[in-house]
A and B are shown apart, each in its own frame.
Chain A
């Protein structure tokens, strides 16, 4: 006679579907997951400890090394926090250029996340198409900032370099091409019957559970919670930003929210290029003593820096709350619980776009 037994399934730390090492200890009853525990510590950098006591000029480079996928927003949030402490104003042209860099970064991060999801559900063709598009976006980031990953583009009181007219035209043309391809790939994902079987109704995260765990970013927006730090950012408010959200609460919704946000980023960049104010890109300023809590919208959600600096601009205290902490926690304690198949554990985990580098910082 068949008997249902409790099975313990450790996934990772090295797993073909995980971009970074993490260990998930799942407890299953038959095929159904009834509990999960996360084990971290495979890539701890101790970067907050390294930052302490160093001048802001060094910490700004360390900040973007917290995460290789969303380095621009770490740079932006750290610098904007220092600007808030020191009362430094940013010229309008530089503020728009910051939005362009940040949205390009969001596009490549979302494309990589959706590639990972497609790869996990074994739709490698679509995954590779998305990875190809991501490379094109990375080229645009390099064109704008001079580097692909650790750009250090945003500095107190402005940005490091301007965008010349020919490059702006090239950026527009590239965005047109990327948007055309994106429409095709989004259609492939949205209409794929096999994709729907693996994604719709899987990994449900209710709005109540999302709210309790303080879930942020596309993971929260796919559960019908329209939270977005860009709503509080003055430049985004000028651009008339409205967050995308869906109410399906499943893996499919999380991937589709990211697809929708790529289109939204393209529109925001076009708007920035169209309305790009004339003038200087660096207003100057001196970093001073103070203490602040500053949040910005990273590709994965709300990224918060708690900073205390001294009168020489040295960082006395710093704490970084990355969005992946909240999203991974909710994923492992809410989304994965009740999943009907072991195969859906990895796809559900990847649908939350977990970033272990950010989590372990």
Chain B
């Protein structure tokens, strides 16, 4: 049907207003729920790093369970790039992350900032028998988009106790295996990020299979670029935490 311009403009204005109102209403009504979901999702990703070592089945955990573990067994800390611990108030004065808490640090946003002004989140998981795990967050680039992960270190700050990875858009069956295939993150367990002389080595993902049993893991066939991304992310991301490790070791 052909209409005059006034009718067209009025029609479009009314339609868009109705649509905008509806979507705003839904978004506001569910905001709290969506934020809780997101927070629980992040908490699960962090717990996944220690899951194999402490025997958690994170995927089968209910929301309540995740929250209670996080409240009772996890300490959150935020450091600056010099390895100095910041209080929540100090964090809030630098960047407005909810409550100044480590779990709300947006790693994607941090990655875009200059290296010397980034904030580093750390989660200390208190396991059975006073065993402590130090979980750190790293972020890098895969083949198509960003990849990130949480690495759990034992209290010698050298041995990896576990790792969990995620990605934005890697290919299912190839690069996405860093998350989908439980064998890949599990292969990081027991690897050392320092050599015997005490020099930082990180852990490399080796195409064709690991040669150095202490500092390398097997690559994924068909996902060399993603695997190289993981190596680079680990080498750079863990190095940021070195001042913190050094201070903790000397204590």
A and B found bound together:
no
Measured CB to CB, the residues of A under 8 A from B are none
Measured CB to CB, the residues of B under 8 A from A are none
